[in-house]
Amino acid sequence: YVEYDFESVASMTVRVTARVASPFSKVFSMELVGEDAGSGNINTPSQGWSAYQERTWDVDVASGMHTLRVLFTRGSMNFCSVSIDQLSDGNIPTTSPSQSPSPSETPEMTPAPTTPPPQ
């Protein structure tokens, strides 16, 4: 499984959209960890490893932090992405920022003095 944290600044209904692909019919599910909310079984498309299709789940969330868990319950599949969008009035939930790499300072190159070879 994989987990994603997101914050909702108000109670609302959101649509969770997963982009998945598989050459065979496989099953996954989504749930909010620690909450009584689950999608039940969701079937993947069976049109190839790169034939991505969207599968959606509409769920009510309260304001605050939530953890979305995507469980791969039957078989292998390609899981491309997940998005969480507002369906009802309220504020759009936002994902928690992940730590991004930041560039470090580039050291200055100082030429070392050279000594002539011994004769």
3-state secondary structure of 82: strand
How far apart CA 92 and CA 8 sit, in angstroms, is 7
Average pLDDT per run of 10 along the chain, which is 119 residues long? 91 92 91 87 88 92 92 87 83 51 56 61
Query: pLDDT value at position 109?
Result: 54
Amino acid 92: pLDDT = 47
d(CA 75, CA 64): 33
Give the pLDDT confidence score for residue 74 in this predicted structure.
Answer: 84
- Residues contacting residue 53 through CB under 8 Å, at least 6 positions apart: 19, 20, 21, 44, 45, 47
User: What local confidence, expressed as pLDDT, does residue 105 receive?
Assistant: 61
pLDDT at 93: 47
Structural domains of the chain sorted by starting position, each given as residue range(s) with its CATH number in brackets: 2-88 (2.60.120.260)
Whether 10 contacts 63, CB under 8 Å: yes
Nearest to 34, CA basis, from 7, 82, 67: 67
User: How many DSSP H helices and E strands does the chain contain?
Assistant: 0, 8
The pLDDT value recorded for residue 14 is 92
Please give the pLDDT value at position 111. Answer: 58
